Amino acid sequence: MSKSKLEYIWLDGYEPTQNMRSKTKVEDNFSGKLEDCPLWSFDGSSTRQAEGTASDCLLKPIAIYPDPARKEGYLVMTEVLNPDGTPHISNGRALIDDNENDFWFGFEQEYFIMDRKTLLPLGFPIGGYPAPQGMYYCSVGGRNTHGRNVVEEHADLCIAAGLNFEGINQEVASGQWEFQLFAKGAKKAGDEIWIARYLLDRLTEKYGYYIEYHPKPLGDTDWNGSGMHANFSNHTLRTCGSRETYEKICEAFRPVVKEHIAVYGEFNEQRLTGKHETASIDDFSYGISDRGASIRIPIITVQNGWKGWLEDRRPASNGDPYKIAGRIIKTVTSANIT
């Protein structure tokens, strides 16, 4: 009889920033298929998702991946349900209106690797700062590159887990990195970001590090913050061949700035200042190849005859990809372009 370890992963009820929780279920002779992952439950009173007098919440498996770090292991992404089987109020995935997977998303997840002893980003000396920004971005060599061992191992884990992992690079600040994931379907894109975050967070346990997703962990300093830029397209954006159509879709974002910012991540006002390659949180703009705009129109999209995608540069590194994707879909759909 073989035994498999199924790691059930879910999002808790903390607001406005949810946290990952997980626990292991051992199954006999498990097939490795999603449909054979049983419904499970947890104590919602310990995660701000239920009261102690009625504490059970349900875990519904919605995606499964091999766990490359555990023997006979699987990573099971789940949705949280109420005891009656309806989506829990904390379940942002259930609100995504993309049943036909018309929307494709590519997320660029930025983050800082922090030393658990010093509570500083890698490369930062105690009581001071490293050399100013300029030489860290896409750097190589021990003077400017910090944490590559973690980043490379994380990439290997994500690829081995079957995620559509597209790349890594060191970012503008010391100890700051980024990975990219792409998926056809908003829900799948969200699933893969959360699984990739889980693998990254778990990996740091053995190095004495932790990951900081705060969008401006170094406060009001001349160091870049962290975002999770959302590259998105639907059939219209991929095929229209029309600048007018692109501009109409971009304009649909203008009247709903507050609605987007509300789900783009906590403390984002500290990052979206109009500096460090960001637009102001109070403004809305778009432009071709403009990394200081709210939405960037990639030059490749223009060169391809206005067939491609858009990049919303406002989402913060700690944002929930489910909620971000759901809001983008709602706005793009409101443009009423067929």
118 with 78, same domain? no
Last residue in a domain, options 39, 56, 91: 91
* Residue 66 is assigned to a structural domain of this protein: yes
d(Cα 293, Cα 165) in Å, to the nearest integer? 26
Is 244 inside a domain boundary?
yes
Q: Which two tokens stand for residue 60?
A: 């519904």
Please tell me whether residues 213 and 290 are part of one structural domain: yes
110 and 57 co-located in one domain: no
Q: Residues 114, 175: contact at Cβ < 8 Å?
A: yes
| Judgement on whether residues 74 and 129 belong to the same structural domain of the protein | no
Residue 205, pLDDT score = 97
Indicate if 171 and 292 belong to the same structural domain.
yes
Q: State the CATH number of the domain containing residue 37.
A: 3.10.20.70
Alpha-carbon distance of 169 to 204, in angstroms, equals 18
Give me the pLDDT at residue 19, please. 98
Taking the mean position of all CA atoms in its chain, how far away is CA 195?
9
On whether both 132 and 30 belong to a single domain, the answer is no
CATH number, domain containing residue 234? 3.30.590.10
Dihedral-angle region of residue 93 (phi above 0 means left; psi in -120 to 50 means alpha; beta otherwise)? alpha
Q: Examine residue 270 and state whether it is found in any structural domain, yes or no.
A: yes
User: Is position 97 within any domain?
Assistant: no
Task: Tell me the sheet residues that pair with 209.
Answer: 115
Q: Report the candidate in 156, 318, 141, 303 with the shortest Cα–Cα distance to residue 226.
A: 318
What are the tens digits of pLDDT across the range 284-337?
999 999 999 999 999 999 999 999 999 999 999 999 999 999 999 999 999 987
Backbone φ, ψ for residue 306 (5° rounding): 60, 50
Residues 271 and 321 in one domain: yes
Q: Which domain holds residue 35?
A: 3-91
- Is residue 52 a part of any domain in this protein? yes
Same domain, yes or no: 146 and 271: yes
Q: Does the residue 186 lie in any domain? A: yes
201 and 177, same domain (yes or no): yes
- Please give the full DSSP string across 214-260, using - where no structure is assigned: -S-TT-SSSS---BEEEEEE-HHHHH---HHHHHHHHHTTGGGHHHH
| Predicted pLDDT of residue 194 | 98
Q: How far apart are CA 111 and CA 104, in angstroms?
A: 23
- Domain C-terminal end among 91, 118, 134: 91
- pLDDT, position 72: 96
Q: Can you list the residues of the chain whose pLDDT is less than 50?
A: none
10 Å CB burial of residue 87 (0-12, 13-18, 19+) is: middle
Q: What are phi and psi of 191, to 5 degrees?
A: -55, -45
Residue 200 lies in a domain: yes
Domain boundary pick from 91, 114, 134: 91
Tell me the C-alpha distance between 42 and 57, whole Å: 6
Model pTM above 0.85: yes
Per-residue model confidence (pLDDT) at position 338: 67
Q: Hey, what are 130's tokens? A: 């490293």
Claim to verify: residue 115 and residue 215 sit in the same structural domain: yes
* Tokens at 253, concatenated: 């974002």
d(CA 123, CA 260): 34
Verify that 198 and 81 share a domain, yes or no: no
- Does a structural domain hold residue 171? yes
Structural domain count of the chain: 2
Same domain, 295 and 321: yes
